[in-house]
């Protein structure tokens, strides 16, 4: 009996958790799930999106910010490698396409790297992207 109660309770909690997750996923933007340190550094313009699909450090950032960028870039690399093989594409092709979309989706005030290599602040208009970007 005790076991049964525990089981049903656990099932309920899992269900409730899933429901909560689904609710937040729908209600809040995707960016809400960013690590707070990453979100802050991004908003401060210390981290920017590069056309190659990876993050870059803008200017002389702290070692903490650099470590954060390296950590996320390693995760991105692993993700791109996996998704690229599923799509029969090279990691570079996949990463570059991801970079196109990530730069397109930067919020006003965030940093991104233009095709020429210079860091730009995203304005209200369209960002400067590679002509091959969709």
Partner 1 sequence: MTFRHLTASNPPTSRDGVRQERSKTDSLSRCGIAVAVLLGGAMALAGCISVNAPDKPIVIELNINIKQEVIYRLAEDVKQNIEANPEIF
Judged by the rule CB under 8 A, the positions of this chain that interact with partner 1 are 30-35, 51-52, 72, 75-76, 79, 83, 86-87, 89, 92-94, 96-98, 100-102, 105, 115, 117, 130, 132-134
| Minimum distance from residue 83 beta carbon to partner 1 (Å) | 6
Contacts of 122 (CB under 8 A, 6+ apart): 106, 107, 108, 109, 110, 111, 112
Contact predicate 36/42, CB 8 Å: no
Distance CA 110, CA 128 (A): 13
Which CB atom, from 6 or from 52, has the smaller least distance to partner 1? 52
Which CB atom, from 44 or from 133, has the smaller least distance to partner 1? 133
| Minimum distance from residue 88 beta carbon to partner 1 (Å) | 9
Number of H helices, E strands in the chain: 4, 4
| Minimum distance from residue 14 beta carbon to partner 1 (Å) | 21
Which CB atom, from 41 or from 102, has the smaller least distance to partner 1? 102
């Amino acid at each position: 009996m005790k076991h049964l109660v525990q089981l049903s309770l656990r099932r309920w909690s899992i269900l409730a958790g899933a429901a909560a997750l689904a609710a937040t996923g729908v209600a809040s933007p995707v960016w809400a799930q960013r690590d707070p340190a990453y979100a802050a550094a991004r908003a401060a313009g210390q981290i920017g999106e590069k056309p190659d699909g990876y993050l870059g450090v803008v200017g002389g950032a702290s070692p903490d910010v650099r470590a954060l960028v390296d950590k996320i870039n390693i995760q991105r690399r692993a993700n791109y490698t996996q998704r690229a093989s599923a799509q029969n594409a090279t990691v570079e092709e996949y990463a570059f396409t991801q970079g196109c979309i990530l730069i397109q989706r930067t919020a006003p005030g965030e940093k991104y790297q233009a095709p020429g290599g210079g860091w730009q602040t995203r304005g209200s208009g369209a960002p400067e992207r590679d002509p091959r970007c969709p």
